[in-house]
Chains A and B, each alone.
Chain A
Amino acid sequence: MSLLEVRDLKTYFYIGNQVIKAVDGISFSVERNETLAIVGESGSGKSVTALSVMRLINPPGKVIEGDINYNNVNLQKLSEKQMCMVRGDRVSMIYQEPMMSLNPAISVGEQIREALLIHKTVPKSESKKRAIQLMNFVSIPEAQVRYNDLPAKFSGGMRQRIMIAIAIACNPDLLIADEPTTALDVTIQSEIMELLRSMKNKLNMSMLLITHDLGVVAENADRVIVMYCGKIMEEASVQDLFRKPMHPYTVGLMKCIPRIDSSVDKLYSIPGYIPHPSQFPEGCRFNDRCERATDKCREKMPELIEIHEGHKVRCWQHHD
């Protein structure tokens, strides 16, 4: 049994007369102790997927279809009170912008303590001590002294560490990391990813890693989903994806990674732009940017089919 199983998830946004199909029928699963990465450009539906799992979609958005099963429990059917018990305790999330996710008026120590107290992980008398332990765990120096500091007194990397401490306070089974390093310096990025890897191993956690950075994926993920315009285009193990990407979009993404051993005048970019969610093309959504698009691609949406074991692709080129 998978830890998290998402089936045919559709999350739409209703804005005026328009229907924005942010996530349009995706299915995936996350196994125990596994890191599943979701990659794609901005607007591909990665973050909306994560928010849908956490039931954090607010109007005008709505999950209109699909099942999200955590440990065989359908999260869509839980009451809000029951869902509060899941969030932060069994499934946690860290965000791209830690400053905006931390309450600027409450000290960092207290925010970690809040997470412990909400789910009664430790008695109140021990909560401060545990919070300091967590701060040490995520390598915040002088944790005891800095317990009472406001978030504004920390650097971006430190704040992200605080976020991680909050997220893992209750030893969740699944950690959803939504672009955890995007807003950070490159050097800090690697530290944070190292920390996440370390947490995952120590706590036997699964991770759903959302990123647009294939480098992060390569170093941290076990399996990868490539999303484009609300659809999964390719799903494979990290090794398979990097060794033999199949979908033209994935190929394009790979080509965008600059190589140290090649000298080029101009870096490669996938031609065209990601279409507006209300104006997806007919057929395969990538067809207007795909060098290998055919009439069939323009007419009909291909299914996501398994080409090799564990490797799925949504492309007419690979159907035959």
Chain B
Amino acid sequence: MIKLSSIRKWNFPLIIGGILLFVLLITSMYPEKLATADPYGKQRLEFQVDGGKTTFVVPPVPPGDEYPWGTDHRGRDLRSLIIYGCKITMITAILTAIGRLIIALPLAIAGAYKNKFATWFIKQFNILFSAFPLIVVVLMLSNFALFIDILKKDNFIVVLLLTLFGWSKLAYVLMEKVSEILEQDFVEGEIAIGKSRLEIAVQNVIPHLIPSLIVFFFLEIALVLQTMSQIGIFGLLAAGGYYNADGDLNVPFEFDWASLLIFTYMFFGTDKIYLIIYPAAAFAASIVGFNLFGEGLRIEFEKRTSRVITFIRRIPSYVSPLKLAYEIKNYEQHKKTVIIKLACYTLVLGIIFFPQPPSLYKFDSAEAFNTIEEISGDKYKGRLAGSEENKALAEYISSELESYGVKPYDNKYIHEFDILKSVNVKASTLKLKDSFGRNKELIFRKDYAVASPVTFSGEFEVEKVEVRDLIELNSERVDLLMARGLHSKVLILDLSVPMDYRHMTGALQTLAIIIKPRALLVIQDWGFEYDAPKHATIDKLFQDTVVISMSKEAGEELLRLGEPTIEFSVESETIANTKGYNVLGYIPGTDPEYKDDFIVIGSRIDYVGDDKAVRYPGTLEAGSVAAQLEIAKKLAQSEIKPKQNIMFAFWDGTFNDKRGSSSFVSKYALSGKIKSITYFNIGNIAIKEDSKVLLDTSRIFPKNKEAQEYIQILKDNARAQNIDLQYGNLNTPVLIDMTSRNIQSLMVSNPEKEPISTTMRDNMDMLDKKQYKKIGQMLLDTIVDIARGK
């Protein structure tokens, strides 16, 4: 029975603060256990039909059954955002507090030792930032274009600024504390035995300061959190989205609590006040927690016989391995302690290094590599959509699926769809001839790329045109342009310098619609270190003009020659009015309730076709297909009977206007034949340049509980394989097709620092085989776990 008198002795600030901090710690460490949804998923515009009545769901969604705390204006579940944002918010605050301590402590000690500069510096900084609070400084800096992008770039910048501009108060307080310590008699005793000031400061002052430092540390964190919340309300330093110096909207991917307050000025006083209340409450709880804990520690340190402090002081002794070794050596005297300590060590090490259960099915990477070799080989000639080779590829995949026991969907494996035109620019030459007759040959795809699918050759004079001459036209200016005879020439347009996007598009439209030159050499700042991607170069604006995109370096060389003649040829292949070939196979589900629900795993089979003399093996894309086939094989040949249907989709025509994926969506999803789809897109995986694996879950509604479970399973399997899973926005035409109301899609891919896909570098040399095996295993385990209903 606890007596009232003993309750009175309890250190309530420490207890309550400790509980709050414990909650924050658990939230930071295990957000996925507490949040019901992935924080990156977005509720898109949705219309719901209910009893003949149609309602629109438009973010921000107010709190309700589906979203207990509502969503933000981008449709992200607010509760998940706050839970997942806890870690980065706490880390920012803690790092800032540590940074301030690192600056403040040496200055405080120097100041206490009457160092004139240190004392002056602390006092002046303190006066300055008492007169101009940090928030005002940041507000001022935010108005300079130079600082806008810097300030909002990263949480690291937040830490840096809050540290650099916020240390002075702490330094002042510490200086007074150190002065107090230095006035104690024992300091004179230390001097009397011959210690220098520095030795006294480090060996004798700091140990006395440790209790105060610990208390100040927690109080400082509370102060930093308070500042962060104020800054968030003003929309400064926040990662919630902002207009940069060029006027472009930037929406950084990561978020913290401060960035959730950014729209306070928009929503305060409206019915969307929940957008502010929940993040503000999170801040309030954490500020209270740190303040109470700090004050509670202060109370404990001031007690002469504090059990808490005695316990803390003994911790190093408890955890010291040397002490344990000594106790084991003298086992008889320390039997009980040794047993308890060894049990604790075993438990902790066990949790940290707990062996993951082995995968049920092994991903056969050797088999997958054979498939990659097959698909990316000469036989399919670069897998151009609409070609006979692609049809053969579709047949190959179908036969593989059939051999595994995967069933054909809708009674067939191969699903044809119409492709109006499939093009492949296969070869080109371009020579520059100056007025002295000197030649310079440019390298196709390294110095220039042809953006028009034509076959063409000839020698031409060139003339440079300026963007300013091609915009804001009136009839008089048009006449002047036409009088120059530009339509019969090859024109050079330099777009490599920074310019207003509207001017650039205006100039191009003038050239495409009014002037229509024979050919257009566009100088652009490619930014590629290697060759230009093949698929990105097809231009659709110009119908009658051959468009050649030129790298900045090659363009400069061209311009240095004045107005040379150019001799160039283009050879391209066009397959018109042809067919694309999707391959769809599936494993039927066993639960009648899910008969119209599908989990679809997809990758693309087509590529850009080979050049005339250069192979485009498309190994990375082939890797996705091979991984998918391996997953299909393992699942089909296992004993697992999934409750919902699992489909393996191999898309053709993904580089074309009419894609295989859009054909599938209109035929099966929008028609209602398939009621719901959760779509997994496998992008290019295991690129040697980067071991990060990006996961894009932004197209999954936070309220879709099943899809959220699948995401969690994927994350767990990534952790099991030690895969560094990161989150970001990935875009691919297939995902665009899949973004409709009844399709929830996610994508796994490696980021490309330099473009690799559809370049000559997309070959076996770029495939990280070890990483491929891990990612393949992760994907296989994920699909198996979903199929098993884990």
Q: Which residues of A contact B (CB under 8 A)?
A: 54, 56, 80-81, 84-89, 92-93, 95, 97, 100-106, 114-115, 118-119, 163, 166-167, 169
Contacts and interface: CB of A to CB of B under 8 A. Distances in A.
A118 B203 CA distance: 12
B196 interface: yes
Given A103-B204, A105-B207, A106-B204, A118 B188 contact: no
Contacts of B186: 100-104
A168 B184 CA distance: 23
B190 interface: yes
A144 to B, nearest CB: 14
Of B188, B194, B208, most buried by chain A (CB within 10 Å of CB) is B194
Interface residues of B, number: 17
B140 interface: no
B185 A166 contact: no
Contacts of A103: 186, 189-190, 204, 207-208
B192 A89 contact: no
A88 B192 contact: yes
Nearest to B114: A59
B207 A87 contact: no
A314 to B, nearest CB: 31
Of A81, A85, A105, most buried by chain B (CB within 10 Å of CB) is A105
List the 5 closest pairs (A to B, CB-CB), nearest first: A88-B194, A100-B185, A88-B193, A101-B189, A87-B194
Nearest to B186: A103
A84 B195 contact: yes
Contact of B199 (A89, A101, A118, A163): A118
Contacts of B195: 84, 88, 114, 118
Nearest to B194: A88
B188 A115 contact: no
Contacts of A115: 193-194
Of A54, A88, A163, most buried by chain B (CB within 10 Å of CB) is A88
A155 B189 CA distance: 18
Given A103-B204, A105-B208, A119 B194 contact: yes
A166 B193 contact: yes
Contacts of A89: 194
A88 B196 CA distance: 12
Given A56-B188, A101-B189, A104-B186, 19 more contacts: A81-B196, A84-B195, A87-B193, A88-B194, A95-B185, A95-B188, A95-B189, A95-B192, A101-B186, A101-B188, A102-B186, A103-B204, A103-B207, A103-B208, A106-B204, A106-B207, A114-B195, A118-B193, A166-B189
B652 to A, nearest CB: 75
A101 B204 CA distance: 12
Interface string B197-225: 00100011001100000000000000000
Nearest to A103: B186
B191 interface: yes
Nearest to A112: B193
Nearest to B193: A88
Nearest to B187: A103
A54 B190 CA distance: 12
A118 B208 CA distance: 20
Nearest to B184: A100
A118 B202 CA distance: 13
A159 to B, nearest CB: 11
Contacts of B208: 103, 105
B190 to A, nearest CB: 7
The dominant DSSP class at the B interface is: helix
Contacts of A106: 204, 207
Contact of B193 (A92, A100, A104): A92
17 contacts: A81-B196, A84-B194, A85-B194, A87-B191, A87-B192, A88-B193, A88-B195, A89-B194, A92-B193, A95-B192, A100-B185, A103-B190, A103-B207, A106-B207, A115-B194, A166-B189, A166-B193
A114 B203 contact: yes
A315 B454 CA distance: 124
B404 to A, nearest CB: 70
Nearest to A80: B196
A104 B210 CA distance: 13
A168 to B, nearest CB: 11
A105 B28 CA distance: 35
A133 to B, nearest CB: 18
A102 to B, nearest CB: 6
A93 to B, nearest CB: 5
A54 B207 contact: no
A56 B207 contact: no
A163 B194 CA distance: 14
Interface string B169-192: 000000000000000111011111
Given A100-B184, A101-B185, A105-B208, A56 B194 contact: no
Nearest to A58: B188
A102 B193 contact: no
A92 B195 CA distance: 12
Contacts of A54: 192
Contacts of A166: 189, 193
Nearest to B191: A56
Contacts of B185: 95, 97, 100-101
A92 B192 contact: yes
Contacts of B191: 56, 87
A104 B204 CA distance: 10
Contacts of B188: 56, 95, 101
Contacts of A167: 193
Contacts of A100: 184-186, 189
Contacts of A93: 192
A87 B192 CA distance: 6
B323 to A, nearest CB: 12
A85 B191 CA distance: 11
Nearest to A105: B207
Contact of B196 (A84, A95, A114, A163): A84
A106 B200 CA distance: 12
Contacts of B204: 103, 106
Contacts of A92: 192-193
Contacts of B192: 54, 56, 87-88, 92-93, 95, 101
A87 B194 CA distance: 5
B193 A114 contact: yes
Nearest to B197: A80
A103 B194 CA distance: 15
A71 B203 CA distance: 31
Contacts of A114: 193, 195, 203
Contacts of B196: 80-81, 84
Contacts of B203: 114
B660 to A, nearest CB: 74
Contacts of A169: 193
A93 B189 CA distance: 8
B194 A86 contact: yes
Nearest to B192: A93
Of B189, B193, B194, B208, most buried by chain A (CB within 10 Å of CB) is B193
Contacts of A105: 207-208
Contacts of B194: 84-89, 115, 118-119
Of B189, B190, B203, B204, most buried by chain A (CB within 10 Å of CB) is B189
A33 to B, nearest CB: 22
Of B186, B188, B192, B199, most buried by chain A (CB within 10 Å of CB) is B192
A80 B191 CA distance: 11
Contact of B189 (A81, A85, A102, A118): A102
Contacts of A86: 194
A179 to B, nearest CB: 13
Nearest to A85: B194
A229 to B, nearest CB: 24
Contacts of B189: 95, 100-103, 163, 166
A102 B208 CA distance: 13
Interface string B561-578: 000000000000000000
Contacts of A163: 189
Nearest to A102: B186
A118 B189 CA distance: 14
